[in-house]
Amino acid sequence: MHLDAQLQTLCERIPGPAEAAAAAARQRLDSLTKPRHSLGQLESLLVRLSASTSVVCPTVNAPAVLLAAADHGVANEGVSAYPQVVTVQMVQNFLIGGAAINALAAEAGARIILVDAGVAGDLPNHPGLLRLGIRRGSGNIAREPAMHPDEARQAMLAGAQLVESAYTQSPGLDMLLLADMGIANTTPTAALTSAYTGAAPAETVGRGTGIDDAMLEQKRRVVTMALQRCGNPDRTTPALTLLSELGGLEIAVLAGATLAAAAQRIPILLDGYITTSAALVAAGLAPSVTTHLFASHRSAEPGHRLALEHLGLTVDAGAGPLLQLDLRLGEGSGAALALPLILSATRLMRNMATFGEAGVSDRDT
């Protein structure tokens, strides 16, 4: 299954780590007035930001939350504690500023780009809502593909174009926070995670919106059905095939956005399980995208750890999640909570004095 030529070109443009900038960042951190490595994971974060941006002392002045909403036909299989109409209702809540992400993004100084990637219900015309019009909701992955490959390509291109537009227009874009909304979207996410990691649905399926034990077992059966329907795919299966068979429209939009941001050396701050599944798809298309991925937190969903490990976003690799709060809200809430921590880290890097500047003796001198 072939990529659109634009997507192929985008994948080919994604750079790997800027090793010289990363080395200079490490050298600067070691010269600051503190014991070496005493800022712990923040130092690894800063070195990775330098590797992503190719800037020794990176700044974040124009962060944005890309919040993609869509519905899923698999909701009809009884896998969510909430009815599908909640997707429409929450989009309306985002528009009036009443959701968690509205409060958290405002506090962190990030604007929200709200996208109707494929909501099944009717939404009002609103200047704060971008509507793609690809289709109303994905197919029921237990019984049919989530979408046609052409629809997957279209959604990915739309996500990429949203990022490119945000980057080129005022106020610009220098950190992309991924966010999602969609009732039942942890089900396609679990299916994608099983395909990419090889883990069984028993390991990748969680309680999502807070389902009970009986519904959890049903959700595992549904993910198993989805995987069996398309021949139990794995990480060698083309990413576009996995996305169109098992994914969702918001996942496709976020995957395309991830590719476009990485191509511009814009760091991508993942939220929870669903946004990480979009990163799995993006990395399946362009492995170098992982240079530009940052994990805001590890959610309460059991499969999230497996997805992060597959992407190399672990503490042992110096790229672990910044927060551990047992979140499972989505909306970009974890990413928005982690953003102030990143802002603080970049200010430390820029504003702390070196031993030489402060006249403080280094232990090695």
Cis before 171 (ω within 30): yes
CA 310 to chain centre: 14
Q: What is the pLDDT of residue 133?
A: 95
DSSP bridge pairs for 113: 66
- CA dihedral defined by 89, 90, 93, 94, rounded to 10 degrees? -140
| Lookup: tokens for 198 | 């090889």
In the chain, which residues have pLDDT < 70?
A: 1-2, 364-365
- CA dihedral defined by 205, 210, 213, 214, rounded to 10 degrees? -90
Q: What is the pLDDT of residue 194?
A: 99
Q: What is the pLDDT of residue 363?
A: 72
Q: What is the pLDDT of residue 320?
A: 96
Q: What is the pLDDT of residue 3?
A: 75
pLDDT digits (tens, 9 = 90+) for 237-291: 999 999 999 999 999 999 999 999 999 999 999 999 999 999 999 999 999 999 9
Q: Kindly report the CATH number that applies to the domain delimited by 61-342.
A: 3.40.50.10210
Active site includes 144?
no
DSSP bridge pairs for 179: 67
Q: What is the pLDDT of residue 4?
A: 80
Q: What is the pLDDT of residue 245?
A: 99
DSSP per-residue codes, 81-119 = SS-THHHHHHHHHHHHT-SHHHHHHHHHT-EEEEEEEE-
Instruction: Choose, from 43, 77, 245, 331, the residue flagged as catalytic.
Output: 331
